Amino acid sequence: MRLFDDYYCNEKMIKKNTEEQYINAMFSLLQWAKVHADGLDRPRWLAASSPTLPRFWLSDFPALVKLKGQDYPLPTHLFFFFFYPISLITPPHKSFAMFRARVCTITSTTHTLAARAMSLRLYSTRNPLFEKILIANRGEIACRVMRTAKDLGIKTVAVYSEADMNAQHVKMADEAFLIGPPPSAESYLSIDKILKVARMAGAQAIHPGYGFLSENAEFADRVKDEKLEFIGPSGDAMRSMGSKSESKYIMEDAGVPVVPGYHGENQEVGFLKEQAAKIGYPVLIKAVKGGGGKGMRIVWSPSEFEEMLESSKRESIKSFGDDKVLVEKYLERPRHVEVQVFADKHDNCVHLFERDCSVQRRHQKVVEEAPGPGLTSEIRNLLGEKAVAAARAVGYENAGTVEFIMDNVDKKFYFMEMNTRLQVEHPVTEMVTQTDLVRWQLEVAAGNPLPMTQDQLKLHGHAFEARIYAENPSNHFLPDTGNLFSVKTPNASPDVRLETGFIQGDQITVHYDPMIAKLIVHGQDRNDALRRFRRALEQYQVVGPHTNIEFIKRVASHPEFIKGEVETGFIQQFEKDLLPPPSAPNAETLAVAANAIRLKELADVQINSHDPHSPWTSMRQAFRVNTKDSQKFTFNVDKENPYSITITPSKQAGLVDIQVVNDATKETIKSFTDVESHWDEEGQLVSSIDGKKTKSNVVLRGDQLTVFDDYGRTEAHLATPAYIVASAKGADSAGSVKTPMPCKISQVLVTPGQTIEKGQTLIVLEAMKMEHVIKAPATGTISEVLYKVGDLVEENQSLVTFADDQ
């Protein structure tokens, strides 16, 4: 027998072949078919019905064989010794592949092989996936689920609140339904509304995402009652794992290590204090139904136990309506290590290795990585075994995460809780296992076996994930809101992935979680991944609300993080390094920023000078200057330190000289000569300055300037020009306000007779494709408004007059 490159066999008669040789040949060919049967994740084949075939053959490859449209129980002397795919077809109720096979007949006399071609249909036992699913969530997780669904040809249904009417998940879905006003309780947490939409849309299953209703046992039960599939675990599994005390009893019975402590019903103060003494201080008091750090208190000595217990109970009753607590040993150098598990309806359960989520603020994760740094293979295997045992203990199905707290000294780990949903940080696991966990969820919910066995799952390199939040790290990580005015992201690649539900121009509102996106980066090992991670963070540039990007960059560059020495107290321990006070801006950054504004003005003037109706045609020079030979810009980086940047034409045509002065000290910080700058195709400013070539992203929003360059992110405000200040005729009396340049009236915010306060916005001008806000130089009363919206106004014209002028 001879096989050609196209996997076809020759027509020659083959003599003296034993049955064992045929069995071996068929086994090899069937293995080939498993690999090449694209679309059949776990095809199970029956090559023949011969009783002489080994039993494992019959059990491992059960399938229905159709020959010319009829069931064909092959006789003992028939074997397939090769087949190859002709086409793949997916009928409504069964997935199958068509194959052409060579059926070989063994004669009892000559033991020769005669081949003839026939067509076979081999049916797999795989169930079809859903035609349509509803995603009961919003933001990046809704978009994430939709991407996989669309890849699989599954239609998607979105739900949205009034605040999310223009959200990306709404635009991405095949259908979208409004379910209520912005408050979550009236929209994304409304079980009745979501189920009503599912019925109206004809969805067959509901994916809960994470957060909102994802771990609501009642919701899971109600979905099942509607004869829909819940793409997640059962309500019973959620209830078992939802109580910290009950889940710990279950884990103890399953042989999963738990933190030494008391989880019982006796809540008497004296009894709990006795238990704390037995455990040994320090101890941790935790609300039984707690989460997010609420109701959690660290007790260092017996003298403070009662005070901390009372405080924990007060907070618990307010947050959860239950003041029951548990007392556990407090680990002073803990790590947060969790294991991704997956189980199907066929009693298969696997782990997909661990993630380290120790970098946290306010008990919430910020940076995650997989696998966990510094863990031996023995610890890794044990973590996986115990996580699978935890899942099996509650009859778990679908995706889940078993969270452990690990003592970073002896590497012993203890069960904390199980998250009965897909985690925010699941992409790092996908990167290192080369899987699509949302697809796994869909397969399992459809009743199919897990796509891979434990032996098939392998680790591939290392991955990091950063949660990009709209928040201000310098102000206790408080969330921020606002319009995403400018967004530049790293280019996507097999090793760089961005999961987001927002794009440039979208609004971050007060109604929901402030997470903008997740940045996931993969590398061959931890050092490789970390280098790529830092580079991707540099390329992620957002102007609008505050973000934590600069903070995460400092985390990723910290020596202890680079060494892999991460614990849950990492941010608090290195707070001074990670949250340093503002530093003085780099002179080169200020010089480049000023030159960028000059170039924008110049470009706009050149464009508008050809329009006879444009106010720019009245200008005597190619661009407006403060004097005949120079332009001067004043930036306020902070209240105490304004900087003046003066740009003067150089002796060489097309080049400029730039001087940067600290106005507070009158000191010239640095002077640059023969500077050349231009915009590249990507909108970056390319500058030849100080003997080198640099690239900068300069964003001007009103009077706010943001620069991204080799020195990081720099923010400054354009100071109020002297012409506005000079227009005031006294500290307490009104004057007149004049146009600083030819412009168009964009907004008029005052009316005649209106009393205004110093600093109040009067008029908004549009010039140089930028808005300029004109504010009142002093308190007074408006007498006249001299222009209306849309008027074109020349330079140095009064915009309003004040009553005191008449």
Give CA–CA dist 417/413, Å, rounded: 12
3-state secondary structure of 522: strand
Structure tokens at 389: 């045992």
Give CA–CA dist 480/500, Å, rounded: 17
Angstrom CA distances, 428 to 221, 312, 351, 522, 541, stand at 30, 35, 14, 8, 22
Give CA–CA dist 747/741, Å, rounded: 16
- Residue 508: Cβ-neighbour burial (10 angstroms; 0-12, 13-18, 19+): buried
Give CA–CA dist 134/159, Å, rounded: 8
Give CA–CA dist 450/454, Å, rounded: 10
Give CA–CA dist 141/500, Å, rounded: 8
CA 361 centroid distance within chain: 17
The single residue listed with the structure tokens 């897990």 is 450
CA 569 centroid distance within chain: 23
Q: Is the dihedral of CA 181, 187, 192, 197 positive or negative?
A: positive
Closest CA to 558 of 534, 542, 538: 534
Q: Quick check: is 100 catalytic?
A: no
Element (H, E) at 65: strand 64-67
Contacts of 478 (CB under 8 A, 6+ apart): 471, 472
DSSP 594-624: HHHHHHHHHHHHHHHTT-TTSGGGG-SSSS-
Give CA–CA dist 697/504, Å, rounded: 15
Give CA–CA dist 727/724, Å, rounded: 5
Distance separating the N- and C-terminal Cα atoms of the chain: 110
Is the Cβ–Cβ distance between 209 and 135 less than 8 Å? Answer: yes
Structure tokens at 14: 């083959």
Structure tokens at 13: 């008669």
Is the Cβ–Cβ distance between 731 and 740 less than 8 Å? Answer: no
For 180-218, give the secondary structure using H, E and C: ECCCHHHCCCCHHHHHHHHHHHCCCEEECCCCCCCCCHH
Q: Is the dihedral of CA 375, 378, 384, 387 positive or negative?
A: negative
Structure tokens at 1: 């027998």
Closest CA to 643 of 626, 625, 661: 661
Give the length of the chain. 806
Is the Cβ–Cβ distance between 642 and 584 less than 8 Å? Answer: no
Report the greatest alpha carbon distance in the chain.
Answer: 126
Contacts of 581 (CB under 8 A, 6+ apart): none
Residue type, 47: A
Q: Between β-strands 64-67 and 70-71, what pairing exists: parallel, antiparallel or unpaired? A: antiparallel
Residue type, 610: H
Is the Cβ–Cβ distance between 516 and 500 less than 8 Å? Answer: yes
- Residue 784: Cβ-neighbour burial (10 angstroms; 0-12, 13-18, 19+): middle
Give CA–CA dist 543/709, Å, rounded: 14
CA 676 centroid distance within chain: 39
Pseudo-torsion of CA 391, 392, 393, 396, nearest 10°?
Answer: 60
Catalytic one of 421, 526, 532, 598: 421
Give CA–CA dist 365/466, Å, rounded: 9
Catalytic center residues = 421
